């Protein structure tokens, strides 16, 4: 019964003359989940995209933080159930599947 309430990811690439910063903010709310991605390249105006997913589409969603926790539990138990597949959100903000 793992549930991610909020997750923030930040990536920085310090290449001159255009450093790039990419952030992803994921927040859960009563109607589902909102994913907001922001890309800042150098001095340019930040580009922002937002995606919303309903609770029905997110049944069993496993985000990065919960995935790391699950992998630790499975390693501790030294077992891996067959056909372990979860809905996930890829780096583009799209729904996909994650299998172990």
26: in domain: yes
Pairing of strands 20-29, 47-54: unpaired
Exposed/middle/buried for 34, CB within 10 Å: 0-12, 13-18, 19+? middle
Could you give the number of structural domains in the chain?
Answer: 1
Reduced to 3 states (helix: H, G, I; strand: E, B; else coil), residue 89 is strand
pLDDT digits (tens, 9 = 90+) for 14-32: 888 889 999 989 899 988 8
Judge whether residue 3 has pLDDT over 90. Answer: no
Instruction: Note down the domain range covering 42.
Output: 6-99
Handedness of CA 79, 82, 87, 89 (dihedral sign): positive
10: in domain: yes
The model's pTM is 0.71
Task: Identify the residue with better confidence: 36 or 83.
Answer: 36
Round to whole Å and give the CA distance between 98 and 92.
Answer: 15
Residue pair 87/61 in contact by the 8 Å Cβ criterion: yes
pLDDT digits (tens, 9 = 90+) for 37-64: 999 998 889 999 998 988 888 877 777 7
Residue pair 40/46 in contact by the 8 Å Cβ criterion: yes
47: in domain: yes
77: in domain: yes
Beta bridge partners of 38: 23, 48
1: in domain: no
Task: Identify the residue with better confidence: 72 or 92.
Answer: 72
11: in domain: yes
pLDDT value for 34: 92
């Amino acid at each position: 019964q793992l549930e991610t309430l909020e997750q923030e990811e930040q990536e920085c690439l310090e290449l001159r003359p255009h450093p790039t910063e990419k952030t992803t903010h994921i927040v859960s709310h009563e109607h589902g989940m909102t994913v907001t991605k922001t890309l800042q390249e150098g001095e340019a105006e930040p580009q922002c995209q937002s995606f919303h997913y309903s609770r029905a589409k997110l049944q069993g969603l496993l985000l990065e933080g919960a995935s790391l926790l699950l992998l630790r539990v499975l390693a501790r138990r030294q077992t891996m159930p067959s056909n372990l597949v979860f809905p996930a959100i890829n780096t583009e903000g799209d729904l996909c599947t994650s299998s172990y």
